[in-house]
Amino acid sequence: MTVHTAPASWRPSTVHVDLDAIGHNVRRIRDVVGPDASVCAVVKADAYGHGAVPVARAATDAGAAWLAVALVEEGVELRRAGLDGPVLLLTEPPAAAIDAMVAHDLTPLVYSPRVVALLDAYGRDADRAITVHLKADTGMGRVGATPEEWDSLLAGVGSASRVRVDGIATHLARADEPGASTTDEQLAVFDRLVERAHDAGICPTHVHAANSAGALLHTAARHTMVRAGIGIYGLSPSRDVDAADHGLRPALSLTTEVSHVKRVTAGTPVSYGHRWHAPHDGWLATLPVGYADGVPRALTNRAEVLFAGGRHPVAGTVTMDQVLVWCDQTEPSLGQTVTLIGADGGEQVRVEDWAEISDTITYEIVTQLTHRLPRVHTGGPR
Ligand SMILES: *Cc1c(COP(=O)(O)O)cnc(C)c1O
């Protein structure tokens, strides 16, 4: 087992990322989508909290043809680390970032004639072509040229001599709801917009619409490429689409060590607001991890952690830096390893469990794990 990062940290609370799971998931998604579609590994937001550079290397090694980021800064980070494959920028760059975007060879999704004109002017000044993918809004309602705006966007790129279109993309709003008919509607609109581009003489290499759920569930969404984020981390896009059902393995776990132990008597009140009282005499353990690390305060009295071969409930309010755990008759020992997310002793706590308790999605749980928690990467390309 190769340990790639050994951050300077003395705290025992650690996010572990299994790069072999990332590789497995990329290969799994490649198998699902087949040879006609390539995989773009979405590593925005520091690879959903998993660490952008090691994840990007593992994904590339497992056959992801593209990487995608949300910010120019995130693309620059990949380039500085030596990743030299194609990188998609999922939104239009701020004007001030165009220089860095071009210098680092990031391919933006573009949807406004204003940005096409900016890029064209930049390309003429620099005497080079700027490659873009056009983004259509087929029903997500966020960014993209709407069907009404599509022809003027096409006309804009048609007259921009230094802007080269090499892709057309859209984004699905409800791909993670297996029954939602809007996905097929969006894909039908998308097909018409791709056709109109062809009619205008724009025949790009890449056509892409699917996020992870789209790639897993909707054959018609796969086109030439899928943009998979949550799936490469082995996490479920929604309650209705379970990652494990699709052969994906979670890459992330979170462990800590017991930092304080005490025996309490029945009725002892615990933590802010005294929202928990010992049901009888027993043991309490303190864990040095809290909401400032991204452990949701919503887990108060609701989540379970794993140690000593069993599941043990969180006792009382999750605080900024510490969490208490009711160990009942199991005496915890100082320094004992505790798993907050991950598997231990045949038991498992999933990111999905935290998302469910917190009434949110897996995406939010992992992107909220803060940088106070060191990341340790194991496995992966060597
Ligand atoms: C974040 C993002 C993705 C990845 O979505 P997942 O659901 O994580 O697979 C794909 N495309 C766009 C445009 C995105 O913003």
Q: Tell me if 376 CB under 6 Å of ligand 1.
A: no
Q: Tell me if 72 CB under 6 Å of ligand 1.
A: no
pLDDT of 6 higher than 60: no
Q: Tell me if 243 CB under 6 Å of ligand 1.
A: no
Look up residue 132 and give its two tokens: 């873009």
Furthest CA-CA distance within the chain: 78
Mean pLDDT for all residues in the chain: 96
Q: Tell me if 42 CB under 6 Å of ligand 1.
A: yes
Confidence of residue 32 (pLDDT cuts 50, 70, 90): very high
pLDDT on residue 382 = 66
**171 CA to middle of ligand 1, Å?**
8
**Which own/partner pairs from 77-81 qualify as long-range (CB within 8 Å, at least 24 positions apart)?**
77/52, 77/53, 78/43, 78/52, 78/53, 79/104, 79/105, 81/53, 81/56, 81/57
Q: Tell me if 98 CB under 6 Å of ligand 1.
A: no
From the CA of 175, give the closest atom in ligand 1: 7
Which of 223, 227, 364, 366 has most ligand 1 atoms within 8 Å of its beta carbon, as the pocket-test mutant? 227
pLDDT of 265 higher than 80: yes
Q: Tell me if 231 CB under 6 Å of ligand 1.
A: yes
**71 CA to middle of ligand 1, Å?**
13
| HSE-up (13 A, CA, CB side) for residue 70 | 9
Tens of pLDDT, residue by residue over 69-87, are 999 999 999 999 999 999 9
Confidence of residue 2 (pLDDT cuts 50, 70, 90): low
pLDDT of 5 higher than 60: no
Distance CA 18, CA 42 (A): 17
Tens of pLDDT, residue by residue over 321-370, are 999 999 999 999 999 999 999 999 999 999 999 999 999 999 999 999 99
pLDDT on residue 7 = 54
pLDDT on residue 216 = 97
Task: Note if the pTM is more than 0.75.
Answer: yes
Q: Tell me if 216 CB under 6 Å of ligand 1.
A: no
Least confident of 9-13, 248-252, 262-266, 375-379: 9-13
**212 CA to middle of ligand 1, Å?**
7
**292 CA to middle of ligand 1, Å?**
26
**70 CA to middle of ligand 1, Å?**
9
pLDDT of 260 higher than 90: yes
Residues marked active site are found at: 44, 272
What's the rounded mean pLDDT across residues 127-151? 97
Interaxial angle between packed helices 19-33 and 52-61, expressed in degrees from 0 to 180 and rounded to the nearest 10: 50
What's the rounded mean pLDDT across residues 205-211? 98
pLDDT of 379 higher than 60: yes
What's the rounded mean pLDDT across residues 50-68? 98
pLDDT on residue 9 = 79
